[in-house]
Amino acid sequence: MDGGLETGTKGQNSMSGLPRVSVVMGTYNSAFHLETTVDSILRQTYTDFEFVIIDDGSTDATWPILQRLAAQDSRIVLHRNAQNLGISATRNLGTELARAELIAITDHDDISLPDRFEKQVAYLVTHPEIGAVGGAIRFMEGERLGEPIEKMPTSELISWAMCFGMPCVHSASMVRRTVLVATGGYDATYKVANDYDLWLRISRQARLANLPDVVLLYNRHGANYSVQQAAMTWQETALIAQRALLEILGIQLSLDELLQIVCFRFIEPHLVGTRCQRVFELAHHFRRSTPLTQSEWRTVKKEAASRCMQLARHQTPWSRHGAPAFYYTMQLDPVVAMQWAVSTIQKSARYRLGFGWLKGTSSRNL
């Protein structure tokens, strides 16, 4: 593990003459969001960085905008792919071009908060055993901030989260270059979930962490690649989760099970109870194999209970197919189970009131 970072967070790394952080961003046809994202990086309170930006063969105004911005700030290092190579190859190229010992990841449509780098560098300086660090985020749709703040798992809970998906937001992360290189970089086999695959492989090399502080505004909009490619996202996520469960818990699940348990897709009503039982078993297996505090175990149970509730979202707690799901949800977290029951009753009451109103209106119109 590379623990040779100097202390201090804002000054220049005079020991080597190189920047301490390389910010890597791939971009493609992102003219609309680009300037806001770049500005959020250039306004960081931590200033010892270079900003490596690769234009992946854009056909809009992305490249002229980047040229103008680079002329205004010498920290920006530009590269333009002759043709579109895809996000994995572009990010790998960014890693090759980066000169620093720490690599900060950003996407072309997200906004890094001003103290993001300062906090992440300081954390990695004082925690040499950590290979990559993320942080909490806040969703953003256009100029409107969403709620609530999305906190990421910490400590041993990262391993539990890794069994079902990304344990952090990739564009909010900072990774040690030595660790990233040791993994072999991004796997172009995965067109959408390459970040999930990378973090699973990073977890073999070093420990992971998430800061409790919000470090990024995550732009959620219809143009997001993962939204446009939903079916591919589900398939790739299930494939990687299959590896994660085998590596972390030693348990092999079928892709059909994982599409249902992880992605909540293609689940038939008669399988809801069985899938919730599986989630219940996974949670208890994780507890037996991982040293957890009481607080962490409660968090695992709450997440597992919420997963059961999501699996049974089209059922009522007392229906034929919903009752088994309600049982396992209750065993995991009674509060979540009762919230599900109360929510179902409220929805039913609203439906009956609405139906009664419509029936009365129809009678009066006769």
Summarised one tens digit per residue, pLDDT across range 29-74 is: 999 889 999 999 999 999 999 999 999 999 999 999 999 999 999 9
Q: What is the pLDDT of residue 227?
A: 58
| Cβ-based neighbours of 87, under 8 Å, separated by 6 or more | 26, 28, 56, 186, 191, 194, 225
Q: Cβ distance 242 to 200 under 8 Å?
A: no
Classify 54 as helix, strand or coil: strand
- Exposure string of 72-91, with b = 16+ CB inside 10 Å and e = fewer, is eeeebbebebeeebbbbbbb
pLDDT band at 226 (very low <50, low <70, confident <90, very high): low
Q: What is the pLDDT of residue 206?
A: 94
Mean pLDDT for the stretch of residues 156-180: 95
| Cβ-based neighbours of 357, under 8 Å, separated by 6 or more | none
Classify 357 as helix, strand or coil: helix
Q: What is the pLDDT of residue 8?
A: 46
Q: What is the pLDDT of residue 154?
A: 87
Q: Cβ distance 104 to 117 under 8 Å?
A: yes
Q: Cβ distance 72 to 43 under 8 Å?
A: no
DSSP state of 45: S
> Looking at domain 21-228, which of 3.40.50.2300, 3.40.50.300, 3.90.550.10, 1.10.150.120 is its CATH number?
3.90.550.10
Closest CA to 108 of 144, 151, 54: 54
Over the chain, what is the mean pLDDT?
Answer: 89
Q: Name the H helices within 206-314.
A: 225-228, 230-249, 255-261, 272-289, 294-311
Q: What is the pLDDT of residue 355?
A: 47
pLDDT band at 15 (very low <50, low <70, confident <90, very high): low
**Beta bridge partner(s), residue 211:** 135
- Residue 155's φ and ψ, nearest 5 degrees, are 55, -135
pLDDT band at 129 (very low <50, low <70, confident <90, very high): very high
Q: What is the DSSP string of 190-221?
A: -SSTHHHHHHHHHHHHSEEEEEEEEEEEEE--
pTM of the full structure: 0.87
Q: What is the pLDDT of residue 125?
A: 97
- Tokens 């996407």 found at: 107
Classify 55 as helix, strand or coil: strand
Q: Six-digit token pair at 113?
A: 């908060």
The per-residue pLDDT for range 269-316, each reduced to its tens digit, is: 999 999 999 999 999 999 999 999 999 999 999 999 999 999 998 889
The structural domains of the chain, with segments of one domain joined by +, span 21-228, 267-348
Mean pLDDT for the stretch of residues 342-362: 63
Q: Cβ distance 190 to 197 under 8 Å?
A: yes
